[in-house]
A and B are shown apart, each in its own frame.
Chain A
Amino acid sequence: MNDAVLRVEGLRVLYDHPVGEVRAVDDVSFSLRPHERFGLAGESGSGKSTMALAILRLIRPPGRIDGGDVWLDDTRLSSLSDDAMRKLRLAGIALVPQGSMNALNPVLRIRAQIADALGDHGTLLSRRETDAHVRDLLGHVGLPPDVADMYPHELSGGMKQRACIAIAICLRPKVIIADEPTSALDVVVQRQVMATLARVQEELGAAVVLVGHDMGLMAQFVDRLGVMYAGRLVEVAPIGEIITSPKHPYTQMLIASLPSLERKGMMQGIPGLAPLLRDLPPGCAFHPRCPLAVARCRAERPELRAVAAGAQAACHLA
């Protein structure tokens, strides 16, 4: 897998907690090919957002990265100084954080916020060049040029989200990590923003990691999907495989829990609750909720292994 643009190898994130350490991300590995759209799906608390932050070394105390490596091409991110890592964010890997519409500075015009990002990464441009660049970026994300002179409160939710995408692509990153970029938007606007993200990604030739819980969105957007449960990847496969023949019972139930517009009465919840990370059950973390669990599942934790061409699952029964 040397053609991978991003490689995550055995990444672990711990949070210090009064009762002991809590493992939010446990031994997660995956890689991303150039131009690929990879999805990370899971319920709240499954560790998917922590993953996104850990890739960028943005975990703050009481959390810490406890092991593993992230490679961007031939650069090992853990070997970089804080300053070099800071430069690499946005330029190499850009993050569109969750609720990022609220990440815009309310007292700065959009132009200033984009110029700030450019200037901070050592792109020295004249005023006129900056204006041209900003106009160009806004055009890329489908916003009219006069948005540059507006403040965030003058923009709708969808427009703010596009402005955030404009900032994310201003240094032509190789990887864009989008953490639930449309969770606060209405469906019509969500579709427009995701179409914008897809188009921009293709123009840039970047790879995208889409973090989210909406399997419908994943089915329509990503090429390959990783499903997380209790901090671990439990299934990774091309999206078509996941939809037609999910291997892990959790993935099967996640898909079955979606309301369909085709047939009534198809929607089924997953019984039980997601486990507490500080108190994980022995063996497979999913076994208390799994209808197929056997004795082995209660005793031995299944490792992620190849179960079909290009597909991996962490289940004794797969």
Chain B
Amino acid sequence: MTVLLEARHVTRTYGGGLLDRDSTVALEDFSLAIDSDRPSVTAIVGESGSGKTTLARLLLGLVAPTSGQVLYQGRDLHDLSGTERRAFRRDIQAIFQDPYGVYNPFYRVDHVLTTPVAKFRLARTKAAARGLIEDALRAVGLRPEEILGRYPHQLSGGQRQRVMVARALLLRPHLIVADEPVSMVDASLRATILGSLRQLNQERGISIIYITHDLATAYQVADNIIVLYRASVAEAGDVELVVKAPNHPYTQLLIASIPQVSLERNWLSEPAAGHQEGQGVGGCKFVSRCPVAMAVCQQSKPPLFRTELRRVVACHQYASGGSQPEAMASVFASE
């Protein structure tokens, strides 16, 4: 297996300089490897403040880890040479949350598509560039004649977000990191955008890291899932296992909290878990809200235990499985 992008024990903290003793841990001891031979869709799910956007920024090299390493083809992002950095910038593409903020309102939409073509010298002639751009737009289900030549305000949010997917696609990347790509788009359009991401994975062999707060869409598009809770991995593994039979009490709470379109109306009556107060210093971060907390949960932070071939859980209930500190990468690697 060749590893395309890898996070190795990455921790990122904010604040905590000389004068400020309280630093905030945004992501703690996170490891993940994306295989370049077997394209996959990995969902990273968490509530606000769980560290999911920090993770996206770390993987894209937009922030540096406080400790640990992010490696592109085995080389630390920090040590990449100019040429390698260029290759990295082309190979790993990003799609962000806000399809309004990424456009300059004074430029036509074409600008975000022609710039990468020129920058990375993807085409020799104008006609070839136009051809590339039109192919990319068609690949995400847009009609080029309806998009090119327009200004951003003339397109809907869904169209704008799909143009961003087309832009990423132009560069023929191996990995797309999509940070909440549909949270600002109407429900009726979400399916279409997520569908085009899934299609890029299946038809063009592009791996996707899909970062979201929405477990239901994660389930729909992903093969693997990582559930973050306050900067740490709570549970990770095969999406069918994690969503259908969650092991971690937090994952269980998260799934029970999603209002379902069903005639069973028990969503409001079930007791919701307690307040978010209490830090669980030294112990499990979820201990103050956990319905099955034990004494050990107050004292020691649970490592990732492997409960199945393709699942790890950070919860002391599953301690008999034995600790597997490097388990995350291997969980996704094994079929």
Which A residues fall within an 8 A CB radius of B?
A: 43-44, 156, 186-188, 190-192, 194-195, 198, 213-217, 219-221, 240, 243-244, 253-255, 257-261, 264-270, 273-274
Contact = CB atoms under 8 A, between A and B. Distances in A.
Given A192-B272, A269-B190, A259 B220 contact: yes
A274 B260 CA distance: 25
A264 B222 CA distance: 10
A41 B69 CA distance: 46
B217 interface: yes
Interface in B74-88: none
Given A188-B257, A216-B258, 10 more contacts: A187-B213, A188-B272, A243-B262, A257-B187, A259-B217, A261-B255, A261-B258, A267-B190, A273-B158, A273-B159
Contact of A217 (B219, B259, B272): B259
A273 B143 CA distance: 13
Nearest to A250: B188
Contacts of B257: 187-188, 190-191
Pick from A221, A254, A261, A266 the residue with the most CB of B within 10 Å: A261
B132 interface: no
Nearest to B261: A219
Contacts of B260: 216, 219-220, 261
Given A259-B191, A259-B220, A191 B261 contact: no
Interface stretch (B173-181, B201-209, B263-271, B311-319): B263-271
24 contacts: A43-B186, A187-B213, A187-B254, A187-B257, A188-B253, A188-B257, A192-B272, A194-B259, A195-B272, A214-B259, A215-B187, A215-B261, A219-B259, A219-B262, A257-B188, A258-B216, A264-B219, A265-B220, A266-B220, A267-B217, A267-B220, A269-B188, A269-B191, A269-B195
B213 A264 contact: no
Contact of B276 (A156, A240, A243, A265): A156
A221 B243 CA distance: 23
A-B CB proximity, top 7 nearest: A269-B192, A269-B191, A216-B259, A186-B47, A259-B216, A220-B267, A270-B188
Interface string B62-101: 0000000000000000000000000000000000000000
Contacts of A215: 187, 261
A203 to B, nearest CB: 14
Contact of A220 (B158, B195, B268): B268
B262 A213 contact: no
Contacts of B263: 240, 243-244
Contact of B254 (A188, A194, A213, A254): A188
Interface in B112-129: none
B189 to A, nearest CB: 6
A219 B258 CA distance: 11
B48 interface: yes
Nearest to A264: B220
A198 B268 contact: yes
B214 interface: yes
A177 B216 CA distance: 28
Q: Which of B186, B255, B260, B273 has the most CB of A within 10 A?
A: B186
Contacts of B255: 261
Contacts of B300: none
Interface of B: 47-48, 156, 158-159, 186-192, 194-195, 213-217, 219-220, 243, 253-255, 257-263, 265, 267-269, 272-273, 276
Contacts of A261: 215-216, 219, 243, 255, 258, 260
Residue with the greatest number of chain B CB neighbours at <10 A, chosen from A186, A187, A243, A266: A187
Contacts of A260: 216, 219-220
B273 A44 contact: no
Nearest to A193: B272
Contact of B194 (A186, A190, A240, A267): A267
Contacts of A243: 261-263
Contacts of A244: 263
Among A43, A186, A195, A254, residue most surrounded by chain B Cβ atoms (within 10 Å): A186
B188 A43 contact: yes
A113 to B, nearest CB: 22
B253 A254 contact: no
A171 to B, nearest CB: 25
A261 B262 CA distance: 11
Contact of B213 (A186, A214, A216, A217): A186
A263 B187 CA distance: 18
B208 to A, nearest CB: 16
A254 B217 CA distance: 15
Nearest to B192: A269
A271 to B, nearest CB: 8
Contacts of B48: 186
A191 B254 CA distance: 10
Nearest to A197: B268
Contacts of B190: 257, 259, 267, 269
B187 A258 contact: yes
B186 A213 contact: yes
A99 B23 CA distance: 29
Contacts of A253: 188
A195 B188 contact: no
A265 B199 CA distance: 12
A194 B188 contact: no
Contact of B219 (A186, A192, A194, A259): A259
B246 to A, nearest CB: 11
Contacts of A194: 259, 267-268
A187 B258 contact: yes
A43 B254 CA distance: 25
A269 B194 CA distance: 10
Nearest to B277: A156
Contacts of A198: 268
A216 B214 CA distance: 13
Nearest to A217: B259
